[in-house]
Amino acid sequence: MTAKQKRHLNTGLKIACAVLAIIGFGLYGDLSANTDETYEGLKLFSDVIELVEKNYVDQIDSKDLIHKAIQGMVQGLDPHSSFLPPEAFKELQEDTKGEFGGIGIVITMQKGILTVISPIEGTPASKAGVEAGDKIVKVDGEATKDMMLWEAVKKMRGPKGTQVIITVVRDNVDTPIDFKLVRDIIPIESVRAKTVRPGYGYIWITNFRDSTTEDLLLALQQLEAQGPSLKGLILDLRDNPGGLLNQSVQVADLFLEKGTIVSIKGRLRSNTKVFRAQPDETPRAYPIVVLVNGGSASASEIVAGALQDHKRALILGETTFGKGSVQTVDTLRDGYGLKYTIARYYTPNGRSIQAQGISPDIFVKRQAASEDNAEEEQAPMLKEKDLKNHLEADPKTPKDESESETQSDEKSPRRSNRHGPLDEEVLKSDNQIKRALEILVSYDIFKSLQS
């Protein structure tokens, strides 16, 4: 064996040991059984690692280099897949549990820039005026360009009462804006309800967490117990970024008696499943109008699509975000995690929402809260199709990369802030809620005329 071959062998063993230390030995058999092409690719990777270790201008930590290589590989798959170091994995687990100290925003990376998808109502960011579409360029003075998403999240989270300064660039504003935010406990409350008119209820689901279905059921029972009997319901899913798949299925099931709610289809049989509705102890026959917009994503789109396909609800508002993919998180050794896409989801009629979204039955654009702001030029709302490396709706459809680098044509007004308990007058001033209420009242009038 030549000296060069020995170096290749040593480097290859180092890489194999480092990778297996992270991922675990369960994958080794699959790697060994792969094609010559994969083997040649690993040899090329080994060559690069060896050259960088030997000749790079500064001393390189091989393990750190391999971590970055894995992260780059996974991020190249789609915008929702990522390799998670222990601290990032812990942050992700906290997200689904509910409470954590932070400022209250849903964010993504667009072209390497940290971008706000939507602020969470009632949180420090929302109260301070952070808006969807804002680009966060600094956190406490540190530039965020090309920062990993989990790193940015970690910097903005922290104990309640501590301060963080975020600097944002906003379309149509000449200079960056500094927001001095005092962190708070981001509430797990995801359901709020209010009677907007005798016999007509309004329920706002802000996200889908562990307790969402339970909270929604309680809200429905309270509305249904009030007199007169419930004649119609407005279900608000606007700016709801999604959350847990099982919660979206259970929420839709509360309004459906039978049939498919959503199906997920992956390359593997184990990642293909159909979720079906079950009869409810309390049938709910009253009409429903579901409100959606460009900030309604993922689990929100599952609920809207299911109710739309079953003709159980009228969908009103603007086209949704278009996230129709399913992610899973596998635990790796030493606290690492791997979040990656395993399937696309489809509505009961077989529609893929990926990069397309749910189109409303009635398109109603959100209007500014006051006439003073009615003419204000608004920035386009970020959509799934704008994200780099986004999946297409059909796996057989070639990806149009040019589209992923453009903004959506659809413009959506900034939503007005609604903090604390829901106020009936504030709700009635919302043009989309007003339109939904008019539809429900008109339906009841026509029904009484026919009888």
Q: Could you tell me if 143 and 260 lie in one domain?
A: no
Q: Could you tell me if 110 and 251 lie in one domain?
A: no
Q: Could you tell me if 248 and 341 lie in one domain?
A: yes
Instruction: Calculate mean pLDDT across residues 5-27.
Output: 47
Q: Which residue has the tokens 């930590």?
A: 61
Q: Could you tell me if 325 and 181 lie in one domain?
A: no
pLDDT above 90: residue 148: no
pLDDT, averaged across the chain: 82
Q: Could you tell me if 248 and 159 lie in one domain?
A: no
With respect to residue 88, please indicate whether it lies within any of the assigned structural domains: no
Choose the weakest-confidence range: 93-97, 292-296, 323-327. 93-97
What is the pLDDT, as a whole number, of residue 398? 47
Q: Could you tell me if 341 and 309 lie in one domain?
A: yes
With respect to residue 135, please indicate whether it lies within any of the assigned structural domains: yes
Name 136's bridge partners: 114, 168
Would you say 119 and 103 are in contact if contact means Cβ atoms under 8 Å apart? no
Strands (E) in 206-254, as ranges, are 232-236
Last residue of a domain, one of 157, 186, 215: 186
pLDDT tens string 426-436: 787 899 999 99
- Largest interatomic CA distance in the chain: 93
Prediction pTM value:
0.72
Distance CA 119, CA 129 (A): 9
What is the pLDDT, as a whole number, of residue 17? 46
Radius of gyration of the chain (CA): 24
Q: How confident is the model at residue 3 (pLDDT cuts 50, 70, 90)?
A: low
pLDDT above 70: residue 6: no
Q: How confident is the model at residue 249 (pLDDT cuts 50, 70, 90)?
A: very high
Name 233's bridge partners: 201, 288
Q: In the chain, how many domains are there?
A: 3
Residues 6+ apart with CB under 8 A from 307: 252, 255, 256, 288, 290, 313, 315
Q: Which residue has the tokens 């290859």?
A: 12
Q: Could you tell me if 266 and 327 lie in one domain?
A: yes
Would you say 412 and 365 are in contact if contact means Cβ atoms under 8 Å apart? yes
Residue 249 — φ and ψ, nearest 5°?
-65, -45
User: Which CATH number belongs to the domain containing residue 381 in this structure?
Assistant: 3.90.226.10
What is the pLDDT, as a whole number, of residue 85? 87
Helix (H) / strand (E) containing 205: strand 200-205
What is the pLDDT, as a whole number, of residue 89? 83
Choose the weakest-confidence range: 40-49, 199-208, 376-385. 376-385
Q: How many CB atoms lie within 10 A of CB 399?
A: 13
Distance CA 154, CA 175 (A): 26
Residue 49 — φ and ψ, nearest 5°?
-60, -45
Distance CA 198, CA 59 (A): 71
- CA dihedral of residues 327, 331, 337, 341 (deg, nearest 10): -20
Would you say 392 and 354 are in contact if contact means Cβ atoms under 8 Å apart? yes
**Which residues are known catalytic residues?**
298, 309, 323
pLDDT above 80: residue 172: yes
With respect to residue 84, please indicate whether it lies within any of the assigned structural domains: no
Q: Could you tell me if 269 and 344 lie in one domain?
A: yes
Instruction: Calculate mean pLDDT across residues 225-246.
Output: 90
Instruction: Calculate mean pLDDT across residues 271-290.
Output: 94
In sequence order, what DSSP letters do the residues of 80-123 get, joined into one string?
T-EEE-HHHHHHHHHHHH--EEE--EEEEEETTEEEEEEEPTTS
What is the pLDDT, as a whole number, of residue 409? 28
pLDDT above 90: residue 361: yes
With respect to residue 441, please indicate whether it lies within any of the assigned structural domains: yes
What is the pLDDT, as a whole number, of residue 162? 95
pLDDT above 80: residue 158: yes
Q: Could you tell me if 159 and 59 lie in one domain?
A: no
pLDDT tens string 21-77: 444 444 444 444 457 788 888 889 889 988 998 999 999 888 888 888 998 999 899
With respect to residue 81, please indicate whether it lies within any of the assigned structural domains: no
With respect to residue 91, please indicate whether it lies within any of the assigned structural domains: no
What is the pLDDT, as a whole number, of residue 147? 83
Instruction: Calculate mean pLDDT across residues 342-348.
Output: 95
Last residue of a domain, one of 186, 202, 219: 186
Would you say 208 and 248 are in contact if contact means Cβ atoms under 8 Å apart? yes
What ranges in 330-405 are assigned the alpha helix state H? 401-404
Range of the structural domain that residue 360 is part of: 191-450
pLDDT tens string 259-275: 999 999 999 999 999 99
With respect to residue 82, please indicate whether it lies within any of the assigned structural domains: no
Q: How confident is the model at residue 106 (pLDDT cuts 50, 70, 90)?
A: confident
Q: How confident is the model at residue 96 (pLDDT cuts 50, 70, 90)?
A: low
Q: Could you tell me if 181 and 196 lie in one domain?
A: no
Q: Could you tell me if 36 and 147 lie in one domain?
A: no
The two beta strands, 100-102 and 191-197, are unpaired
With respect to residue 158, please indicate whether it lies within any of the assigned structural domains: yes
Q: Could you tell me if 165 and 201 lie in one domain?
A: no
User: Which CATH number belongs to the domain containing residue 131 in this structure?
Assistant: 2.30.42.10
Tokens of 375: 């003419």
